[in-house]
């Protein structure tokens, strides 16, 4: 009889190893240039994700059967410096991580099956599944992570595959532009997470979550009391990372841009999984965040403002994917608010239900016309709603405009953050040029007229547009 705890360790390894193997197989086949047939690709994906899924189910069964509330498994010691400074890849099986992993499986297998027919004969069929495999691996690594470095590993894979899937139709400029924008926001969030990891290591010498959350099982774990500004900083950085990933205010502008990819990828990533990953992080860190009033208030403010902003925006969107994206975001805001209130199980239920619901709605987004017709036929004509029922007539146009422009969040980010950074870099560049000219000791030739006009007009255009000028039609 095998020791259940030992078995659990094997199973936990299998959960991560199967999708990792899938990524390696698909990736290396692509690199050596033998693209397998659609059927073969689908089988491979289904088989390996299936193994991972079965391992998760088995692990869940064992934990319930033997009453093991929590099990963490060390996959590898990456770096160990001295006694108390190490980077470890470690995964954790507990109710939260298992629920999130199971959700990932349900949605991803459904989408995988959907895509195998939906994208039949599409030139990028194989590319989609390579990115899809990376995404699944990233989601599993992030949801099962027990150290901040494991989380970062998954977090990066999810971000990378998401951005590449937005740019899936790489022959058109608009998807590339949108993907770049999303990528920039993601990198910002990633930087926050990385800083949090560094700070955490600086504080404790390791990135293990139990240093922040204690060793009790989620949700009964209680965060360790904060010891000063460093732990506040870690919390703050984690909140920024989560906000960027989940499109919370003020990062919401990327969400509609993410709809450039194929419908099913929008469904699973922005409707269901990617957008909840930030929330998951907050949920995981909930006990730690609750220890500090400051952090709790920040979470509440972000959550409430996202919920209100997104539900306003969703009311005025005229294309179905943006409507769903903002409706989704409104619920995400609400879930964050629930977390901020110190709740644990409710937000988890809310999250799971919401993810399933949105995936279905996104997959059925092309049916919008037919659905609308059916409903109209069943109940006769349906008049549109009205704004004035909700707000005083005087403010209605203003509110509408605010929602219509999606709060101009992108413009604000651009003017408030990107522009100053770019100016700073340009200032350094000019300094550098002057220095070179000084060293050269002579009047360097003027810029070519073409480069001058580019620089001028770029400045002008960049200051007014959150768009990237290197990809042109």
Partner 1 sequence: MASIPHSLSASCEPLPNLTAHTAIPASRENLRLAIETASRAIPSQGPIGVFVFENPLLALEHLQFHEALAESERFFGCDSYFPESRYRAEIAKGRIRLEKLRYILNDELGDRAQEVVGGLTTRLDLRLAMLQYPLMTGSKSELAWHMAENRVLKHPGTDASAAFRTQLTAETRHWMLRDLRGSAAPFWAKELLQRHESHRWGGSHPEQWNLARWETVAIEVLWKVCLEGVGPLPSFEKPSPLPIRHRDLLLRAGGPDCDLIVNEILIRFTSAFLDQGLSRWPLPSRERGFLRSFLDLYSQHAGPVAIAGLTEAARELSVRESGALDLIQESLTVLAVPPEEQGDYLTATLLSLRGWAGMVHYLETKAGRVSCPVPLGSFEEFLAVRLLLDRLALQSALPDVPIERAAQVLRERLPAALPQDTESRAYIVFQLAQILGWIPSRLFKLKPAEWEQLVREIETFTSHDRRRVFQKAYEGRLLRQSLDALNLHRTPLLDHLGPETSPPTTRPAKPMFQSVFCIDAREESFRRHLEESCPEAETFGAAGFFGVPMHYRGATSAHFAALCPIVVTPRNWVTEIPVAHGRKSHHQRARLRRSWGWLSRSLHLSSRHLLPGAMYATFLGGLAAIPMVARVLFPRLTGSLTRTAARATEAPATQLELLRDEHQPAGPEHRQLGFTLDEMTEIAERSLRDIGIVGRFSDLVIFLGHGSECQNNPHESAYHCGACSGGQGGPNARALALMLNNPLVRQRLAARDLDIPATTWFVGGQHNTATDEISLFDEEQIPPTHHESFRNAVHSLEVASGRNAQERCRRFYSAALSLSPNQALRHVQGRATDMAQTRPEYGNATNCMCVVGRRIRTRGLFLDRRSFLQSYDPWTDPDGKILARILSAVVLVCKGINLQYYFSAVDPGGWGAGTKLPHNVVSLIGVMDGATSDLRIGLPWQGVEVHEPVRLTMIVETTPEIMAGIIANFRAVGRLFDNGWVQLAILDPSSSNILTYKEGKFSPYEPLQESLPSARTSADWYRGWREHLEFATIEGPGT
453 lies in the site for partner 1, by CB under 8 A: yes
119 lies in the site for partner 1, by CB under 8 A: yes
From the list 45-53, 144-152, 186-194, 452-460, the region that binds partner 1 by CB under 8 A is 452-460
374 lies in the site for partner 1, by CB under 8 A: yes
367 lies in the site for partner 1, by CB under 8 A: yes
Residues 190 and 177: beta-carbon distance below 8 Å: no
Find the shortest distance in angstroms from Cβ 354 to partner 1: 4
466 lies in the site for partner 1, by CB under 8 A: yes
Strands (E), 82-194: 85-93
400 lies in the site for partner 1, by CB under 8 A: yes
Helix H or strand E segment including 61: helix 38-65
Residues 260-279 that bind partner 1 (CB under 8 A): 260-263
Sign of CA dihedral 40, 46, 52, 54: negative
381 lies in the site for partner 1, by CB under 8 A: yes
15 lies in the site for partner 1, by CB under 8 A: no
Question: In angstroms, rounded to a whole number, what is the distance separating the alpha carbons of residues 37 and 43?
Answer: 10
Residues 402-421 that bind partner 1 (CB under 8 A): 402-405, 407-408, 411-412, 415
Residues 164-193 that bind partner 1 (CB under 8 A): 168-169, 171-172, 174-175, 178
Residues 191 and 155: beta-carbon distance below 8 Å: no
Which of 323, 339, 340, 344 forms a contact with partner 1 (CB under 8 A)?
A: 323
**In this structure, what token pair is assigned to residue 323?**
């409507």
- Closest to partner 1 by CB, 369 vs 439, is 369
Find the shortest distance in angstroms from Cβ 244 to partner 1: 19
Phi, psi of 447 (to 5 degrees): -60, 155
Find the shortest distance in angstroms from Cβ 122 to partner 1: 7
247 lies in the site for partner 1, by CB under 8 A: no
User: Is the bond into 409 cis (omega within 30 degrees of 0)?
Assistant: no
Sign of CA dihedral 125, 127, 128, 133: positive
Find the shortest distance in angstroms from Cβ 36 to partner 1: 16
At 390 the three-state DSSP class reads coil
Question: In angstroms, rounded to a whole number, what is the distance separating the alpha carbons of residues 116 and 134?
Answer: 17
Q: Which residues contact 432 (CB under 8 A, 6 or more apart)?
A: none
Question: In angstroms, rounded to a whole number, what is the distance separating the alpha carbons of residues 245 and 254?
Answer: 10
- Closest to partner 1 by CB, 187 vs 419, is 419
376 lies in the site for partner 1, by CB under 8 A: yes
Q: Which residues contact 101 (CB under 8 A, 6 or more apart)?
A: 15, 56, 139, 140, 143, 144
Which of 227, 366, 423, 447 forms a contact with partner 1 (CB under 8 A)?
A: 366
Number of residues that bind partner 1 (CB under 8 A): 113
Find the shortest distance in angstroms from Cβ 167 to partner 1: 11
Question: In angstroms, rounded to a whole number, what is the distance separating the alpha carbons of residues 274 and 242?
Answer: 11
Which of 93, 242, 316, 339 forms a contact with partner 1 (CB under 8 A)?
A: 316
Question: In angstroms, rounded to a whole number, what is the distance separating the alpha carbons of residues 288 and 435?
Answer: 50
Question: In angstroms, rounded to a whole number, what is the distance separating the alpha carbons of residues 419 and 158?
Answer: 27
- Closest to partner 1 by CB, 14 vs 387, is 387
Which of 13, 60, 110, 217 forms a contact with partner 1 (CB under 8 A)?
A: 110
Which of 88, 193, 334, 336 forms a contact with partner 1 (CB under 8 A)?
A: 334
- Closest to partner 1 by CB, 233 vs 396, is 396
CA 65 to chain centre: 34
- Closest to partner 1 by CB, 60 vs 110, is 110
Q: How many residues are given for the chain?
A: 473
115 lies in the site for partner 1, by CB under 8 A: yes
- Closest to partner 1 by CB, 381 vs 445, is 381
């Amino acid at each position: 009889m095998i020791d259940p705890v030992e078995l659990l360790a094997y199973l936990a390894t299998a959960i991560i190893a199967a999708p990792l193997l899938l990524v390696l197989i698909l990736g290396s086949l692509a690199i050596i240039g033998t693209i397998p047939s659609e059927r073969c690709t689908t089988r491979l994906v289904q088989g390996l994700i299936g193994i991972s899924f079965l391992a998760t189910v088995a692990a869940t069964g064992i934990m319930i059967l033997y009453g093991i509330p929590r099990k963490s498994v060390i996959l590898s010691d990456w770096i160990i410096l001295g006694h108390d400074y190490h980077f470890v890849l470690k995964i954790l099986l507990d109710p939260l991580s298992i629920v999130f992993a199971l959700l990932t499986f349900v949605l991803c297998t459904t989408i995988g099956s959907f895509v195998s027919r939906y994208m039949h004969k599409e030139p990028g069929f194989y590319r989609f599944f390579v990115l899809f495999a990376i995404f699944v691996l990233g989601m599993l690594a992030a949801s099962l992570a027990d150290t901040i470095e494991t989380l970062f590993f998954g977090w990066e894979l999810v971000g990378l595959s998401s951005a590449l899937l937005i740019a899936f139709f790489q022959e058109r400029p608009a998807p590339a532009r949108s993907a770049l924008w999303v990528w920039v926001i993601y990198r910002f969030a990633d930087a926050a997470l990385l800083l949090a990891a560094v700070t955490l290591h600086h504080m404790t010498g390791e990135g293990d979550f139990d240093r922040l959350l204690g060793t009790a099982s989620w949700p009964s774990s209680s965060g360790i009391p904060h010891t000063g500004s460093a732990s506040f900083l870690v919390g703050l950085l984690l909140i920024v990372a989560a906000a960027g990933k989940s499109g919370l205010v003020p990062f919401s502008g990327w969400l509609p841009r993410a709809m450039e990819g194929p419908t099913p990828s929008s469904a699973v990533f922005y409707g269901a999984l990617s957008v909840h990953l930030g929330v998951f992080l907050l949920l995981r860190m909930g006990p730690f965040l609750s220890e500090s009033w400051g952090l709790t208030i920040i979470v509440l403010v972000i959550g409430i403002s996202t919920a209100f902003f997104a539900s306003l925006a969703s009311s005025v969107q005229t294309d179905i994917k943006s409507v769903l994206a903002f409706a989704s975001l409104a619920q995400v805001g609400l879930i964050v608010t629930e977390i901020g209130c110190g709740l644990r199980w409710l937000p988890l239920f809310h999250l799971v239900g919401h993810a399933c619901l949105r995936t279905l709605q996104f997959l059925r987004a092309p049916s919008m016309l037919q659905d609308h017709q059916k409903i109209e036929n069943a109940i006769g004509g349906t008049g549109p709603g009205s704004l004035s029922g909700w707000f005083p007539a005087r403010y209605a146009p203003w509110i509408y405009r605010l929602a219509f422009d999606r709060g101009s969040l992108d413009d604000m980010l651009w003017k408030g953050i990107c522009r100053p950074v770019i100016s700073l870099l340009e200032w350094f560049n000019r300094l550098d040029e002057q220095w070179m000219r000084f060293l050269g000791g002579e009047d360097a030739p003027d810029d070519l007229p073409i480069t001058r006009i580019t620089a001028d007009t770029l400045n002008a255009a960049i200051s007014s547009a959150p768009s990237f000028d290197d990809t042109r039609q």
